[in-house]
Structure 1
Amino acid sequence: MMDKKQLKISTFDDALQQVKDGMVIGIGSGSTIELLIPHLAEKVTSEQLDITGVCTSNKTAYIAKKHGIKIIEINDVTNIDLAIDGADEVDTDLNLIKGGGGALFREKVIDAMANKFVVLADESKMVSYLGETFKLPVEVDKFNWLLVARKIEAYDKLEVTRRMADDVPFITDNGNYILDVTLHNGINPAEFHEYLIHLIGVLETGYFIDIADQAIVGTQEGVKVFNKAN
């Protein structure tokens, strides 16, 4: 019986096989990607690959640089060949909820820009609907966060909490707050995202709809690869 860490690591080979010489790689955030980075660095060194990384968080950039991976800023690239990231939830159509680590805005910029976006997950992240096991993170401006929270609650009698860290409000790399929204099965992700994104003060939502091209999932029965239907 493999634990979650082992299941995550089991997905790495399939992802790393897609990393080729000369690529610009989008490097995601979270526990899975932090485990992946040393393996990526080892591949770069052993195969003498010339790759450049663009990172979705300051923490990821720090870890990647520490392992000798060349990192540049998003505004210094015009193309990302491959993005590899984790997810908090993955549904059967490869739609995602992301943002458990608070980096959802930068993740969406990089993952959506990539020619191919590959998601790594363990089987516990697979859900029948988005919001089944995880709250939806929404990044909002500090100035009017409470007004935004009330408008979100009013959408469908939803529960909204401001994310805290060590008894103080969590602050994103962009200097904003995160509101975590408890969802239910009746909510249409595309419609709710549209409602949220047009609220003044909302930077981005943790819905990643129609962005992922492939999900590599570690299960007790082995690694399963799901590709987006054309």
Structure 2
Amino acid sequence: MNEDNLRKLCAEKAMESIKNHSVIGLGAGRNIACLIDLLRKAMDENNLKVRIVTPSDSTKRICIKNGIEVLPTSFIEEVDVAFDGCGEVDENFYASKGGGGVFTKEKLIGSMAKEYILLIDEQKYKKQLSVIYPISLEVVKDSLGYVSKRVKTLGGDPLVRTTNSKDGYLVTDDGNFILDVKFNAIEDFKELNNKLNDIVGVVGTSLFTREVTKLIIAGENGIRIIQKN
């Protein structure tokens, strides 16, 4: 089965969790783009009415282009269901999501959601998270030196994220820096996440250890669903 068909099956399964007049959180990526196509089709054919919150500018543009209402997250207290992708997720439902640089807002929406569902390809599902990807931290600018020192005491090698669009460090929409921290080994991801969050100046981490409730996994044999107990 080719990747496009798998994405469509994944998105179709996700649609089963969407109810009329609900508020939906959407991340970014090709699986999410496929889900948006199905949402638009359901709006046209079945009069489905939904509203979207998203931390992704690209997802916001796609939704608006398809006539789907996008709300500022600050106006919303609760999300009915949210969908996203990830770099990796494991059997503990721990997920790593640092690549896009909006992980703090992604985690906020995941925390607001009654259900936070990841749409992933089979190769991203692991027995345990690896250290292939760095753990990203969004940090207050003034805390950069202090946070860097503290993560080194935890065994991390921090590197401030830069951008090709300008000379210097990448700055988030909220005016913060991002530290990408490489670890050679991690025994307990949840404990490390707690220690990182305890550092003054850390706004958020790219480790999701509580938020994920369900996985929709696309593989060569089709779609399977794993629900958190």
Contact persistence 1:131–1:184 (CA under 8 A): no
How many positions carry a matched residue from both structures? 227
91-100 or 131-140: which moved more?
131-140
Query: Helix, strand or coil for the counterpart of 2:148?
Result: helix
Separation (CA, whole Å) in 2 of partners of 1:182 and 1:131:
11
Structure 2 match to 1:39: 38
CA RMSD of aligned residues (A): 2.0
- Would the aligned equivalents of 1:57 and 1:173 in 2 still touch at CA under 8 Å? no
State the 1:7 CA deviation. Answer: 4.1
Rounded to whole Å, the distance in 2 between the matches of 1:84 and 1:94 is 14
152, 156, 159: which one aligns with 2:157:
159
> 1:204-223 alignment to 2 at 5 Å?
204-223=204-223
1:25-104 aligned within 5 A: 25-104=24-103
Of stretches 117-126 and 5-14 in structure 1, the one that deviates more from structure 2 is: 5-14
Matched, 1:128 2:158: no
Cα deviation, residue 85, structure 1: 0.9
Give, in angstroms, the shift of residue 162 of structure 1: 1.6
**Aligned twin of 1:201:** 201
Q: Does 1:188 align with 2:182?
A: no
Where does the alignment leave 5 or more consecutive residues of structure 1 unmatched? none
- Return the offset for 1:31: 4.2
- How far the C-alpha of 1:185 sits from its partner, in A, is 4.2
Could you state the TM-score of these two structures normalised by the residue count of structure 2?
A: 0.90
Q: Flag the 1:30–1:172 CA change in 2: closer, same or farther, 3 A.
A: farther
1:146 lines up with 2:145 in the alignment: yes
2:77 is paired with a residue of what secondary structure? coil
Mapped to 2, the partners of 1:211 and 1:175 lie a distance apart of: 25
C-alpha distance after superposition, 1:84-114 (max 9, x if no partner): 1111110012111113101111111111111
Cα gap change, 1:26/1:96 in structure 2, threshold over 3 Å: closer, same or farther? same
Q: Which moved more, 1:53-62 or 1:65-74?
A: 53-62
Secondary structure of the 2:142 match is coil
| 8 Å Cα contact 1:23-1:50 kept in structure 2 | yes
**For the residues of structure 1 that align with 2:69 and 2:87, how far apart are their CA atoms?**
27
Judging changes above 3 Å, is the alpha-carbon distance between structure 1 residues 179 and 216 closer, same or farther for their aligned structure 2 residues?
same
For residues 185 and 9 of structure 2, the distance between their equivalents in structure 1, rounded to whole angstroms, comes to 31
Q: Which residue is 1:175 aligned to?
A: 175
Task: Determine helix, strand or coil for the equivalent of 1:107.
Answer: helix
| 3-state SS of 1:143 partner | helix
Find the residue that maps to 2:38 and give its secondary structure: helix
Whole-Å Cα distance in 2 between the matches of residues 41 and 144 of structure 1?
A: 43
**TM superposition score normalised by structure 1:** 0.89
Deviation of 1:208 (Å) = 0.9
Change (3 A) 1:139 1:7: farther
- State the percentage of identical aligned residues: 29
